[in-house]
Amino acid sequence: MRRFLSLFLLVCAITVLAACSSEGAELSSDADDASSGSNVLVAYFSCTGTTEQIAQWIVDQTGADSYRIIPETPYTAEDLNYNNSSSRANREQADASARPAISGSVEGIEQYDVIFLGYPIWHGQAPRIISTFLESRDFSGVTIIPFCTSHSSGIGSSAENLHTLCSDRVTWMDGQHFSGNTSENMVNEWLRTLELPEREDPVVREFNFETRTVMLNSGYEMPIAGLGTYSLTDAECAVSIDALLEAGGRLIDTAYMYHNEAAVGQAIRDSDVPREEIFVITKLYPSQFDRAPEAIDEALERMGLDYIDMILLHHPGDGDVEAYLALEQAVADGKVHSIGLSNWYVEELEKFLPQVNITPALVQNEIHPYYQENDVIPYIQSLGIVVQGWYPFGGRGHTAELLGDETISAIAEKHGVSSAQVILRWNLQKGVVVIPGSSNPEHIRENLDLFGFELTDEEMAQIRALDRNEKHDWY
């Protein structure tokens, strides 16, 4: 059997209580902590402990994470009384539409490539709570390996019926039946017969300094240097975007809350540059989250564009998951090419990502030499997500101090460039897309002229030493 790859991505399991034993006592589930980093999950439902034992042997052999499926309403001894036709278990098994609720969920479940799915056999079938689990999310791209425990019934139709609940993009492998007297060696022997897919680590999106672009995980190329339009009025937008496009820039960042989407769209439409060469980003504000589908259509209408290259959620807020799911639908509908997040950091991402289906193509955060996010940036990049920085020059009230910093000014003098160019080049060499804002055409041209020099490792280290963890805005 192929060796299972381990992965450093997020892993969480849940510690919950269940009452499933034949005596009706409440049992504690010792689900794994967020430690192993495996891309294999053993998810199982067990009442008497037989399935749990098999699951544990699989975990021991593979290094997988484990998740015990716990019913929201625990099964009592009477619920499991097979001799009573009206018992809860018998009623559920007689009703193909029954879906007992599950207590909790698997956080970070999207990271798993392989799921062993274990259950006892009840009247020849899997307990209906297994159907609840399979219907809890889209397992497309995942390999599912069922296994069951029973005294006599094989896995047979139980696995076949569960398979029908999954999309065509799920790889469903032949399952295995284990009796109550199965030994650990028998389980290990079965595991050795399996050929499991190996996971490819997420690709860190490398910048192409020749084309001045990066390939997003959505399959679209995005320029790595552009223009931010925050605080630009409609008239300023027109002048700034004209200057950007004339200088060869093709990346424009706006947002609903900048109140200039219409001006940005007008400037794009009035340009001689083909639409497909321009990459425009806008954002939904939390006040729009509860009506995200309409807000997306309104953005398209305001900008007068057939599609938007990327839409971000402006920052976390109530209903952000539902709003992001609306963005996913907009991608499916061809209205938006790529989607992402703004002002999401490690803690927010760990909570958010397990609840969505499409990995963000981009995360946009405040990044400058006084607030470097040296732990956050590698984490985001390790997920195959591109990082983009706003406030590259420190933001309101801090720009003069940052551009006048002695260390940065000395590096700029050595290379014959401006301090602004040094800061932007520093970002690019960290793998951070830059979108400095300006209404000055000369500055806009200068902010794109970043590819004729390179900072040395020593100079990068000197700038790294300037980090104060000094955030200049509340996002």
Q: Are 124 and 94 in contact (CB under 8 A)?
A: no
Angle subtended by helix axes 457-464 and 419-429, to nearest 10: 100
Which residue out of 258, 345, 370, 379 is catalytically annotated? 258
- Nearest C-alpha neighbor of 385 from the set 351, 432, 352: 432
Cβ burial of 278 (10 Å; 0-12, 13-18, 19+) is: buried
CA separation for the pair 174, 145 (Å, rounded): 7
Given its phi and psi angles, is residue 394 left (phi above 0), alpha (psi -120 to 50 degrees) or beta? Answer: left
238, 230 contact by CB (below 8 A): no
Task: Give the C-alpha separation, 400 to 428, whole Å.
Answer: 21
- Euclidean distance between CA atoms 366 and 315, whole angstroms: 12
Question: If you search the block for the tokens 């607030």, which residue do you land on?
Answer: 371
Scanning the structure block, which residue is given the tokens 């469903």?
172
371: tokens are 């607030």
Backbone φ and ψ for 369, nearest 5 degrees, come out as: -60, -25
The three-state secondary structure class of 413 is helix
Q: What 3-state class would DSSP assign to 394?
A: coil
Within 8 A by CB and 6+ apart from 469, the residues are 371, 372
75 a catalytic residue = no
Three-state DSSP class for 22?
coil
SS3 382: helix
CB 343 within 8 A of CB 475: yes
**Per-residue DSSP letter, 102:** B
Region of 141 on the Ramachandran plot (φ > 0 left; ψ -120 to 50 alpha; else beta): left
Q: Which of 75, 77, 72, 42 is nearest to 57 (CA)?
A: 42
Catalytic sites, residue numbers: 258
